[in-house]
Amino acid sequence: MLSFTGRRRAYAAAALATALFIPLPLVSDAKPAEPSAMQTPAKGGDFNKRLSFETNHYRITFSEIGGHISEFKNRDTAYPRRDGAEIILPGQQIFFAPYLGTEGNTPAEQQQKLANITAAMYAVYTFQKEETADFVKITGTAPILFLQGKKQFPATLTKVIVFLKAAPYFKVTIGIQSDSDLKLTNLMLYALPTIGPKPENPGNFRDYHHYSIGDKFEQVYQGTGGAGGLSCACNSAAVPEKKIPGAADFFGVSSRFLVLNMQPLFQTKNLSIKFDPADANDKNAISKQSIHLNLGDVSVEKKKPAVFEFIGYMGPKMDEKLHPDDNARKLIPELAKFHKNLYKSFDFGITEPIRDIIVSALNLLYKVIPNYGIGIILIALLLKLAFFPLNQKQAEAMKRMGELQPKIKEINERYKNNPQEKQRRIMEMYKTHKVNPVSGCLPMLIQLPVFIAMYSAFSDAYDLWKSPFIPGWIPDLSQPDHVFSLPATLPYVGGFAIHLLPIVMTLTQYYQTKLTPTSGDENQRKIMLLMPFMMLFLFYAMPSGVVLYWTVQNLLSIGQQVLTNRKNKAAAAT
C-alpha cells in the first residue's frame, strides 16, 4: 500500500496528466458591448408592399417599411355609417419601434436620438401571416445594426401581434436578438401617436394621451394640459418632452369615441409625452404628440432574445368592452390581467355613473324607436316629469320672493347706513312670511349633476357617432347641425357655418326667460334676458345631440311656466 506521501504524489501526477490532455476553460473579463447608436443595414424597399386583413372589429394594414400599422379602420357592421372610419389619422402610424434613447439635450445628442428612432421606424420588415378561425397572427422581422464607435453588432427586431377575430383585443410581443452580448442602456419604445376618427369639426376633437403609474391616473391633452396640472404643448421639435417617472400600469391614447389602451406585462422605467418624429415633415398631420415608453437598461444575451409583451384593447369607450369573456381569455390568457382602472381612460368625469344610466336608457329606447334623436326627446320629457315637483317648488319660491321685493327695497332704503339692522330686518321678514331665500337655488343644484352627465352622454357617446336625427338637417347627432356656409367671397364672415338648432335653442330660452318671474330688480331681469344670447355663443359649435336636449328642455319649461302662470292668475282672481 502506498504511503500518504506516495498517494499525494500519485494524485499530483494524475492531475498533471489530465491538465495536459483536457484544456482548461478560458477566463475572460470581456463585458457586453454598450452601443449608443442604431442603423438600418439598408434603407429602401417597397413602401407600397403591405399586408392587410380584417377582424370583426378592425381593418388593418401593415407596411413593410418600419413594420408599422399604416391603416387601422373601425368596423361596425351593425351601424354601416361608422364602418370604415379612420382610427389612424393622416400622418400617423403605429410603429411599436424600439430605439436607444439619450439622456443629454445637446443638439448632437438630440440628433442622435432622432436617428435612433428613425432607424427602427424605417427598417425593412419581412412579414408572415398565420390565420385561424379565432385569430390573426402577424410576425415581422427586420435586420438592424447597433453601433459602438466603429464597431457594428448585427441584430434582429421582431414584432409579433395577435389580433382576436371576434373581440377587440390583441397581444404585442417585441423582441431583440443578437449574436453578441449587448447592454442596451435607456432602451425606448416609440409606442403610440394620436388616433382618430378624423374630426369633421375640429372644435369637437378631444384627443389626449393617458397613463396610470402606481394606480395614479392622468391625462395629457395636446398643447394645453390635463389632470394633475400636467401640460405638454408638443407642437414643435423645440418643445421639451414631458417625462413621467415610474413603472406604467397601462398607457394609451383616446379620441372622442375610441380608445387604444396598452398594458405592459413587465416592469417599465418611465414614459414620455413628446413631439412626434413621424410628423416632422407632414404639414397635414393633425397631431404632433406621441407617447414613448422607457423599457430601462436591457441585457441581450448571445442567441437569447430580449422580449417585451403587451396586451391591448382598441375600440369604443364602453366599460363592458374592458372585460374580456372566457373565450377571449382562453385564446390570450394574459387578458385576465387587464388593469382594474382601464375605464378611467374614457375620461367621463365624476358623473360617469349617471351618464352610463342615461346612455343605457337611450339604447333601450333605440330598440323601440330606432332614432337616437327621438330618444333624446323622450329622455328630456322623462327627466322633466321626474324633476317637476322640484321645479314647481323653485317657481313658487321665486314667486314669493318676487312678492316681497317691494318690502325688501323699502328696508334697504331705510337702513342703508346700518347693514346689521338691515340684514336682521330682512331675515325677520323671511321668517314671518315663511320664505327661504336659498330654496329657489336648491332644485337647480340637485339637477346640476344630471345636466353635466347629459352633456357627456350626448357629446361623447359612441352610440351617437354618425347617428342621424332628421336627414338633410341633422345627419349626425355628435356634430353641429350645418345648414349652409356663407360664401367665401364675403369679407370677414366668408365661410362662416350657419347652425340652425342653436338659434332655435336661444329663441326658446329667451321666451322662457320672459315668462319666468324674477326675484330681483329690473337690472337683474335685463341681465337674465341677455343670458340666452350668451348660451348661443357657448352652444353654437356643440354637438347637435346636446343642443337638441337643451332645446326640448326649454320648450317643456315654457309649457310648465305657462300652466303655472295660469294657475297663479286663477288663484289671484278668486
List pLDDT tens digits, range 231-242: 443 444 444 578
- More confident site: 126 or 570: 126
* Percentage, residues of the chain above pLDDT 70: 83
Among 213, 232, 216, CA closest to 224: 232
pTM of the model: 0.81
Among 208-217, 261-270, 411-420, 427-436, the range of highest mean pLDDT: 261-270
pLDDT at 194 over 50: yes
Res 43: pLDDT: 66
pLDDT at 532 over 50: yes
> What domains sit in the chain, N to C, each tagged with a CATH number?
48-347 (2.70.98.90), 354-573 (no CATH)
Res 161: pLDDT: 96
Mean pLDDT of the chain: 82
Instruction: Give the confidence band of 441 by pLDDT, cuts at 50, 70, 90.
Output: low
Res 21: pLDDT: 35
**Which are the contacts of 93, defined by CB distance < 8 A and separation ≥ 6?**
63, 66, 68, 69, 70, 193, 278
Res 16: pLDDT: 35
Instruction: Give the confidence band of 475 by pLDDT, cuts at 50, 70, 90.
Output: very high
Cell of 404: 316681497
Query: Which value, in Å, is the radius of gyration of the alpha carbons in the chain?
Result: 33
CA distance 546 to 331: 41
DSSP assignment of 402-469 equals HHHHHHHHHHHHHTTT-HHHHHHHHHHHHHHTT--TTTTTHHHHHHHHHHHHHHHHHHH-GGGTT--S
Res 116: pLDDT: 86
Omega into 197 within 30° of 0, i.e. cis? yes
Q: What angle do CA 48, 314, 83 make, to 5 degrees?
A: 70
pLDDT at 361 over 60: yes
pLDDT at 200 over 90: no
Cα-to-chain-centroid distance, residue 242: 17
pLDDT at 146 over 90: yes
CA distance 199 to 14: 84
pLDDT at 563 over 60: yes
Res 417: pLDDT: 84
CB atoms within 10 A of CB 128: 11
Res 439: pLDDT: 63
pLDDT at 89 over 90: no
In single-letter form, the type of residue at position 245 comes to P
CA distance 263 to 194: 17
pLDDT at 337 over 90: yes
Instruction: Give the confidence band of 520 by pLDDT, cuts at 50, 70, 90.
Output: low
Matching residue, cell 324633476: 387
- Region 416-427 average pLDDT: 84
Among 224, 293, 285, CA closest to 263: 293
Instruction: Give the confidence band of 223 by pLDDT, cuts at 50, 70, 90.
Output: low
CB of 133 closer than 8 Å to CB of 116 = no
pLDDT at 438 over 80: no
pLDDT at 287 over 80: no
- Region 454-458 average pLDDT: 86
Res 232: pLDDT: 42
Matching residue, cell 315654457: 558
Among 297, 82, 68, CA closest to 191: 68
- More confident site: 477 or 431: 477
Res 93: pLDDT: 86
pLDDT at 27 over 80: no
pLDDT at 527 over 80: no
- DSSP E strands in 27-168: the ranges are 37-39, 50-54, 58-63, 69-74, 97-100, 126-131, 135-148, 151-164
Sort strands 69-74 and 58-63 into parallel, antiparallel or unpaired: antiparallel
In single-letter form, the type of residue at position 144 comes to I
Res 236: pLDDT: 40
- More confident site: 348 or 3: 348
- Region 404-433 average pLDDT: 83
